[in-house]
């Protein structure tokens, strides 16, 4: 029989779980619905992990309404049908896309009701018409239990697991809620989320989404909820179906949406209510002007009679509500002719094909260019010079070609071939272009030499983990490059204080400090110098491995691919990248100019240094009295040790400074040896047995 102490612990856990769920739901609502975060991400993650641990420790406390259960369940073989107890019907579309369409809707209703011209104005609610996928979400006693698509209006598909992954949709409603509430709304993908998702997909060589609407619809109909969970979806409520146990329900459309918002459901703030068609005309005009600034795509607005009793009186005709209408805007897609495909070189050397178009007015602006993203995407869409193409623009999204009018293709066209068009070299600097296996992007290998990459190369070169030139930030780099003061990396070391002082917002003292920082960077380490060169795939750790393995720059320059693969953690892809970089004659020339500017390090130090801490893993926590975290890391690694960001059973030492974090408690729980700064310095100086991690 469980002891009283066990019951007490269980009760405390249940109360803590309840509070954590309430806090996380409040944080989610503020972040995803109100766009006003309440806590830093780290605090949110801490609360979420604590909830996960408690639910794992006390399985009886798990609940479908817990935020930890948003993603769950194995992939489905197919979707189950869901019968809508209240039909989920579509509404009529007003064919007149001008503001006159609102006046026509009002007049139809007045005629149907038999109102004279001097009768009081009808009251309306005006809302957005989202360009996404209509879904129904069902709450029982405030808990989300089901999600379904519209389907044919009578029967949809059960997409509950996918709907649960939508982060702005509450799993449990707030306040006084009906026993049963079926909420109808739209699943959309915001433009910024769409762009970020596609960029990540491209960087991984994975398929991209065609547009936000297709992204939303396709995500909800994924049979694997884990795939849906990776898609950044949002939900907005605009209506309802079956309701039970809501005695004091509002009697207007706008009142119902206000009540939804009070329960924590996301409702778009762009809506108005008032008397007469003038309210609708004004809303239609205003939203058209704001359309491009909205975070999501819309294709019009919706007008509804505000009073629910009058909605019921007006009823339906041909399975469409008489009391509502969708008033669309002109399409934001136009056709035009593709005149040429040019290739741009980005700040990181990425080569992007850009379509040059016959000017076309779409989405409120004249479009002459559209991105094709990469060669694979251009081929997937089969875009060819001379084609008639369909161009789409929504808000501040870069204009994009979404399709080709195949039957208008001229004879003699050929698929786009980036390598052939550029004859294998960068259009800016003439360096070789390369595309690694499994990647979608071609890149210029010119790095240090390519003027298109100059600003990015300079920022990286000056960064803290590279040459550590304090004060050489993004705005100053822009001024130096745009003003012609720096044309290549070695030019940094020729800068004079009087030159810098002439730049906007650069005082004499700031100029002097920067020149001192530049001169101070001349004495560095081989690892920092290698990292500063910005070789693709060579991060801080790989640069240290290269310096430790070769001991000097000359040996590294002379190494072939096979020799480079002998370096720990350097595989074929990284080895080829390093070899290609140093094989470029102009890169070697820049190296010689940098060394000629006075950059020095101890060539033998890396090879001769004791490796007595090889195999030992360290974790740093808190602020050390004299060493910065980077200095401590460098000294540990120079002695052969490794520094990790988290404590585990493999950790050999935890170095503790002032105001340590949770890593100290973790170290104590695992019985890991603790060191202060003085003990660390003694360990670094005196070779002794340092047990392998």
The residues, ordered by sequence, that sit 6+ positions from 608 with a Cβ below 8 Å of its Cβ are none
- Residue 342: predicted pLDDT: 94
Across the chain, mean pLDDT equals: 86
Strands (E), 189-233: none
- Residue 394: predicted pLDDT: 59
Task: Please tell us whether the domain made up of 4-69 is placed in CATH 1.10.287.610.
Answer: yes
DSSP H stretches of helix in 58-174: 100-113, 160-163
State the average pLDDT over residues 315-334.
Answer: 85
Pick the CATH number of 611-685 from 3.40.710.10, 3.30.420.40, 3.40.50.10190, 2.60.120.260: 3.40.50.10190
- Residue 308: predicted pLDDT: 96
Distance in angstroms (rounded) separating the CA atoms of residues 433 and 425: 5
Element (H, E) at 27: helix 4-28
List C-alpha distances in Å: 9 to 13, 14, 53, 68: 6, 9, 14, 21
Distance in angstroms (rounded) separating the CA atoms of residues 124 and 305: 5
State the average pLDDT over residues 655-670.
Answer: 88
Per the CB < 8 A criterion, the answer to whether 570 and 564 are in contact is yes
Q: What angle do CA 630, 633, 634 make, to 5 degrees?
A: 85
pLDDT grade for 692, boundaries at 50, 70 and 90: very low
- Residue 633: predicted pLDDT: 84
Question: What are 204's two structure tokens?
Answer: 């991984």
568 burial class (0-12, 13-18, 19+ CB within 10 angstroms)? exposed
Residues forming CATH 2.40.50.140 domain(s) in the chain: 333-422
Q: Is the pLDDT of residue 693 over 50?
A: no
Distance in angstroms (rounded) separating the CA atoms of residues 168 and 27: 10
Per the CB < 8 A criterion, the answer to whether 293 and 397 are in contact is no
Rounded to 5, what percent of the chain is helix, strand, coil?
40, 20, 40
SS (H, E, C) 599-639: CECCCCHHHHCCCCCCCCEEEEECECCCCCHHHHHHHHHHC
- Residue 436: predicted pLDDT: 83
List C-alpha distances in Å: 210 to 197, 373, 378, 449: 11, 12, 12, 36
pLDDT tens digits for 200-249?
887 777 777 777 888 888 888 887 778 888 888 999 999 999 999 998 89
Distance in angstroms (rounded) separating the CA atoms of residues 322 and 316: 5
Per the CB < 8 A criterion, the answer to whether 352 and 346 are in contact is yes
State the average pLDDT over residues 250-268.
Answer: 96
Residues forming CATH 1.10.150.20 domain(s) in the chain: 445-608
Q: Considering 129, 304, 381, 544, which one is annotated as catalytic?
A: 129
Residues forming CATH 1.10.287.610 domain(s) in the chain: 4-69
Q: Is the pLDDT of residue 285 over 80?
A: yes
pLDDT tens digits for 352-390?
999 999 998 876 678 899 989 889 989 989 999 999 999
Distance in angstroms (rounded) separating the CA atoms of residues 447 and 445: 6
User: Between 451 and 322, where is the model more confident?
Assistant: 322
Task: Please tell us whether the domain made up of 445-608 is placed in CATH 1.10.150.20.
Answer: yes
Q: Is the pLDDT of residue 346 over 80?
A: yes
Which residue, 639, 605, 594, 466, is CA-closest to 540? Answer: 466
Which residue, 380, 376, 359, 290, is CA-closest to 329? Answer: 290
Residues forming CATH 3.30.470.30 domain(s) in the chain: 93-328
C-alpha torsion 305→310→316→321, nearest 10? 20
Percent of the chain with pLDDT over 70: 93
Distance in angstroms (rounded) separating the CA atoms of residues 468 and 328: 56
pLDDT grade for 689, boundaries at 50, 70 and 90: very low
pLDDT grade for 690, boundaries at 50, 70 and 90: very low
Q: How many CB atoms lie within 10 A of CB 382?
A: 14
- Residue 64: predicted pLDDT: 74
- Residue 688: predicted pLDDT: 42
pLDDT tens digits for 68-95?
776 555 545 678 888 999 999 889 888 7
pLDDT tens digits for 45-58?
778 788 888 888 88
Which residue, 233, 214, 230, 211, is CA-closest to 398? Answer: 211
- Residue 72: predicted pLDDT: 53
Residues forming CATH 3.40.50.10190 domain(s) in the chain: 611-685
pLDDT tens digits for 144-163?
999 999 988 888 889 988 89
Pick the CATH number of 333-422 from 3.30.420.40, 1.20.1370.20, 2.40.50.140, 1.25.40.10: 2.40.50.140
Task: Please tell us whether the domain made up of 93-328 is placed in CATH 3.30.830.10.
Answer: no
pLDDT tens digits for 630-648?
788 888 887 878 888 888 8
- Residue 466: predicted pLDDT: 92
Distance in angstroms (rounded) separating the CA atoms of residues 165 and 541: 36
Whether 304 sits among the annotated catalytic residues: the reply is no
Distance in angstroms (rounded) separating the CA atoms of residues 632 and 680: 9
pLDDT tens digits for 521-571?
999 999 999 999 999 889 888 998 899 888 889 999 999 999 999 998 898
CA 433 to chain CA centroid, Å, is 28
- Residue 643: predicted pLDDT: 87
Strands (E), 271-350: 272-275, 298-305, 316-317, 320-321, 324-328, 333-345
pLDDT tens digits for 576-630?
989 988 998 888 999 999 999 999 986 544 444 567 787 889 999 988 888 888 7
Percent of the chain with pLDDT over 90: 43
- Residue 603: predicted pLDDT: 57
List C-alpha distances in Å: 615 to 73, 275, 624, 650, 691: 41, 77, 23, 10, 8
- Residue 153: predicted pLDDT: 87
């Amino acid at each position: 029989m469980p002891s009283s102490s066990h019951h007490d612990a269980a009760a405390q856990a249940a109360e803590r779980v309840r509070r954590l769920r309430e806090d996380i739901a409040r944080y989610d609502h503020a972040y995803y619905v109100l766009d006003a975060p309440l806590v830093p991400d780290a605090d949110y993650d801490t609360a979420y992990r604590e909830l996960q641990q408690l639910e794992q420790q006390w399985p009886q406390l798990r609940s479908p309404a817990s935020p930890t259960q948003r993603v769950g369940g194995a992939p489905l073989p197919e979707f189950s049908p869901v019968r809508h107890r209240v039909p989920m019907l579509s509404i009529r579309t007003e064919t007149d896309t001008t503001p006159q369409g609102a006046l026509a809707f009002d007049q139809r209703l007045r005629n149907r009701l038999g109102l004279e011209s001097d009768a009081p104005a009808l009251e309306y609610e005006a809302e957005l018409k989202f360009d996404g996928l209509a879904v129904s979400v069902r709450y029982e006693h405030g808990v989300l239990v089901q999600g379904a698509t519209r389907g044919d209006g009578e029967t949809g598909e059960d997409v509950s697991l996918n709907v649960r992954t939508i982060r702005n949709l509450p799993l449990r409603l707030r306040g006084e809620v009906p026993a049963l509430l079926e909420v109808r709304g739209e699943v959309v993908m915001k433009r910024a989320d769409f762009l970020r998702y596609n960029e990540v997909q491209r960087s991984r060589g994975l398929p991209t989404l065609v547009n936000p609407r297709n992204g939303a619809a396709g995500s909800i109909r994924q049979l694997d909820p884990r795939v849906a969970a990776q898609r950044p979806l949002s939900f907005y409520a605009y209506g309802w179906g079956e309701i039970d146990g809501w005695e004091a329900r509002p009697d207007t459309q706008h009142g119902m949406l206000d009540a939804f918002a009070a329960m924590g459901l996301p409702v778009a703030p762009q809506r108005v209510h008032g008397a007469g068609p003038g309210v609708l005309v004004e809303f239609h005009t205003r939203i058209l002007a704001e359309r491009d600034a909205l975070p999501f795509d819309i294709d019009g607005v919706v007008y509804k009679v505000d009073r629910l009793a009058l909605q019921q009186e007006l009823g339906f005709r041909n399975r469409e509500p008489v009391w509502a209408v969708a008033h669309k805007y002109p399409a934001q897609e136009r056709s035009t002719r593709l005149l040429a495909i040019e290739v741009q070189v980005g700040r990181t050397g990425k080569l992007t094909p850009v379509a040059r178009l016959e000017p076309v007015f779409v989405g409120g602006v004249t479009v002459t260019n559209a991105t094709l993203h990469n060669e694979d995407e251009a081929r997937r869409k089969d875009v060819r010079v001379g084609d008639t193409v369909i161009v789409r623009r929504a808000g501040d999204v870069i204009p994009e070609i979404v399709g080709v009018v195949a039957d208008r293709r001229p004879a003699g066209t050929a698929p786009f071939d980036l390598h052939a068009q550029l004859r294998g070299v960068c259009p800016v600097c003439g360096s070789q272009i390369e595309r690694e296996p499994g990647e979608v992007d071609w890149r210029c290998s010119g790095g240090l030499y390519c003027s298109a990459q100059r600003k990015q190369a300079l920022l990286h070169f000056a960064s803290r983990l590279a040459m550590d030139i304090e004060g050489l930030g993004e705005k100053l780099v822009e001024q130096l490059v745009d003003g012609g003061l720096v044309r290549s990396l070695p030019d940094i070391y020729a800068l004079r204080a009087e030159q810098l002082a002439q730049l906007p917002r650069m005082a004499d003292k700031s100029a002097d400090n920067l020149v001192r920082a530049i001169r101070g960077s001349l004495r560095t380490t081989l690892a920092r110098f290698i990292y500063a060169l910005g070789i693709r795939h060579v991060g801080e750790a790989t640069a240290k491995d290269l310096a430790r393995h070769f001991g000097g720059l000359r040996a590294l320059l002379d190494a072939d691919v096979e020799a480079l693969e002998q370096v720990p953690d350097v595989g074929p892809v990284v080895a080829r990248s390093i070899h290609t970089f140093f094989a470029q004659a102009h890169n070697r020339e820049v190296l010689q100019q940098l060394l000629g500017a006075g950059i020095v390090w101890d060539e033998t130090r890396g090879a001769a240094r004791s490796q007595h801490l090889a195999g030992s893993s360290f974790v740093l926590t808190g602020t050390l009295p004299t060493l910065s975290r980077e200095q401590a890391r460098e000294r540990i690694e120079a002695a052969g040790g490794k520094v990790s960001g988290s404590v585990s059973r493999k950790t050999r030492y935890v170095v503790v400074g002032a105001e340590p974090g949770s890593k100290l408690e973790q170290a104590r729980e695992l019985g890991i040896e603790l060191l202060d700064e003085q003990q660390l310095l003694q360990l670094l100086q005196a070779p002794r047995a340092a047990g392998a991690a």
